[in-house]
Structure 1
Amino acid sequence: MSALARLAASNGLLRTLRCCRVGQLRAISTSDNKRDTTGASQPACEPAPKTTETNWISYGFSTKDKEEDRTYLHATFFFGITITFVFGGFVLAYRPDELGRNWAQREAFLELRRRERLGLPLVDQNYIPADKINLPSDEELGDTEIII
């Protein structure tokens, strides 16, 4: 085994093993003894040339360069998520009350305090005077079902 390691180091077999796939290197027997075998001194394959990745699918930021495409993808998503959630949440939390919900609630509490102080019922039964309400007559209603 040590003889094989010395032979591999002297003939550059280690470089050959690194550049070739495992199944492409053939063992050649040069002796009658079955245990004594050596590898071929010439590589059975050429080193694989460095090529660009052919199965690369672009994310749409760059169709020419994979690194540029990935960089723009990560930057876009990082800043997009940051702006959307962080700054968007800040804007939603501190925006003014456009619909006046807070104002209506404050006015309702003030009106309840005023009515309690004056001894009036909290909600008046005749909030709208009955003479101002125009209800349809029985003839106008006809067979319309009335659900109360």
Structure 2
Amino acid sequence: MSALMRLSNRSVLQNIVRQAVVSRSIQTSPKNRETASIAAAPAAQKVKDETNSKNWVSFGFETKSESDDRNSMKASFFFSVTLCLVFGTFVWSYLPDPQLRNWAQREAYLELRRREKAGCDLISADYVDPRKVVLPSDEDLGSKKIII
């Protein structure tokens, strides 16, 4: 008797599991074969579509002619990428130094080397004429700290 109870319990459990698996499956409706339809295009639209036999999407340069649109796109990309970016970068990188920074730095190194060989100070103490320097008096400074 207990064996029959176990067997019936197993079959009940298996049916519950089967139903759970079946209820979890994804089901699609037969509507996937249905399509939406639109009204036929007017005769004037058909003539325009016959001139452009392919499904042509404009690049935004020309809306009436595919070849003009494509040529305009290629020309604009050629001028913007090749001429502006490539040649512009080339010209910009090889331009002479307009503020003469490189020249000033080379001259400074040459002057330092000359002064070292001559045994002079690297910077003269009288670089600025002391008579032209105006310093504040002790009364003007007051109790301010002077850091040298």
State the TM-score, normalizing by the size of structure 1.
Answer: 0.50
Partner in structure 2 of residue 127 of structure 1? 127
CA contact (8 A) 2:58 2:69 kept: no
Question: Which residue identity is paired with 2:78?
Answer: F
Equivalenced residue count is: 102
Partners of 1:125 and 1:69 in 2: how far apart? 72
Partner in structure 2 of residue 114 of structure 1? 114
Instruction: Flag structure 1 segments of 5+ consecutive residues without an equivalent.
Output: 1-21, 25-48
Instruction: Flag structure 2 segments of 5+ consecutive residues without an equivalent.
Output: 1-32, 36-45
1:99 equivalenced with 2:111 (yes/no): no
Partner in structure 2 of residue 40 of structure 1? none
The percent of aligned pairs where both chains have the same amino acid is: 46
Q: What does 1:1-148 align with in structure 2 at a 5 Å threshold? A: 51=49, 56=57, 59=60, 61-137=61-137
State the TM-score, normalizing by the size of structure 2.
Answer: 0.50
CA-to-aligned-CA distance 1:24-81 (integer Å, 9 cap, x gap): 8xxxxxxxxxxxxxxxxxxxxxxxx68258995652x223224422331232112211
Change (3 A) 1:55 1:69: closer
Partners of 1:68 and 1:143 in 2: how far apart? 81
Partners of 2:67 and 2:139 in 1: how far apart? 80
CA contact (8 A) 1:58 1:69 kept: yes
Change (3 A) 1:58 1:138: farther
CA-to-aligned-CA distance 1:63-115 (integer Å, 9 cap, x gap): 32244223312321122111112211221122222111122012101110111
Partners of 1:92 and 1:102 in 2: how far apart? 16
